[in-house]
Amino acid sequence: MMKRLAIFDVDFTITRKETLMQFFAYMIKKDKKNLKFLPRAIFSGLMYGIKIYDEKRVKESFLKFIEGIEEKRLAEEVKDFYKNRLSSILYKDAINMIKKLKNEGLDVYLISASPEFYLNEFYNIKEVDHIIGTKFKFENGKFKREMDGLNCKGNEKVIRLKKYLKENNIEVDFKNSYMFSDSLSDKPLLDLVGNPYLINFKRNSDIKILNWK
């Protein structure tokens, strides 16, 4: 039997704010010493803005504030981060849509360029079936500031999705599947499904726009 999917981007699609910056802010709140990484964060953003750094390099540079953290401790931090910060910035309309489509028999997938090590906390939303994000390496049980594979953005999202489906022998009825994103950077995924939607999109588009709060 073919599956129908309800695919959601994460940042500014199901959340009101950018999640990696929220994680950094959370870690600063936990330990003010992390403020010393703020100039690096600003510099990385500027380098990206003038196209000297790509997103991969920006993320690897930015994540200096958790470099070398033990995997067990990072797991505890992100659990706390979800409970105290991430869960409070979810769009109510996004959660309602997730529940609605799950009740209609669709499988719910979250596919995002954000780091998988904290995106996995979204499994706390019981309707979520599978999460795909940008992977980072761990070495000798400690976080390594190095991407494992490519940044999960644009066409890479489609590649990662199809790889997972193939490995798990899942057949999908894409024509009757859904995709929700705040950005046309997700056009490869939006074009893949019969029911694409843009969230809180401010320009005119051929794709239907939903305004979520």
Mean predicted confidence (pLDDT) in 55-69: 91
Take residue 32 and report the two structure tokens written for it.
């003010």
pLDDT of residue 150: 95
Answer for the pair 192, 175: CB distance below 8 angstroms, yes or no: no
Q: What is the C-alpha separation between 31 and 38, in angstroms, rounded? A: 13
For 142-178, how does the pLDDT look when each residue is reduced to its tens digit (9 = 90+)?
Answer: 999 999 999 999 999 999 999 999 999 999 999 999 9
Take residue 21 and report the two structure tokens written for it.
């910056």
> For the chain, what is the total number of helices (H) and then of strands (E)?
8, 8
Band of residue 122 on the pLDDT scale cut at 50, 70, 90: very high
Mean predicted confidence (pLDDT) in 121-128: 98
For 74-110, how does the pLDDT look when each residue is reduced to its tens digit (9 = 90+)?
Answer: 999 999 999 999 999 999 999 999 999 999 999 999 9
Can you give the CATH number for the domain in which 113 is found?
A: 3.40.50.1000
Q: How many structural domains comprise the chain? A: 1
pLDDT of residue 143: 97
pLDDT of residue 213: 96
pLDDT of residue 51: 79
Answer for the pair 91, 116: CB distance below 8 angstroms, yes or no: no
Band of residue 52 on the pLDDT scale cut at 50, 70, 90: confident
Q: What is the C-alpha separation between 57 and 111, in angstroms, rounded? A: 20
pLDDT of residue 44: 76
Most distant CA pair in the chain: distance in Å? 53
Range of the domain at 182: 5-210
Which among 166, 175, 187, 165 has a CA at the least distance from the CA of 109?
165
User: Other C-beta atoms within 10 Å of 53: how many?
Assistant: 19
Answer for the pair 27, 65: CB distance below 8 angstroms, yes or no: yes
Band of residue 50 on the pLDDT scale cut at 50, 70, 90: confident
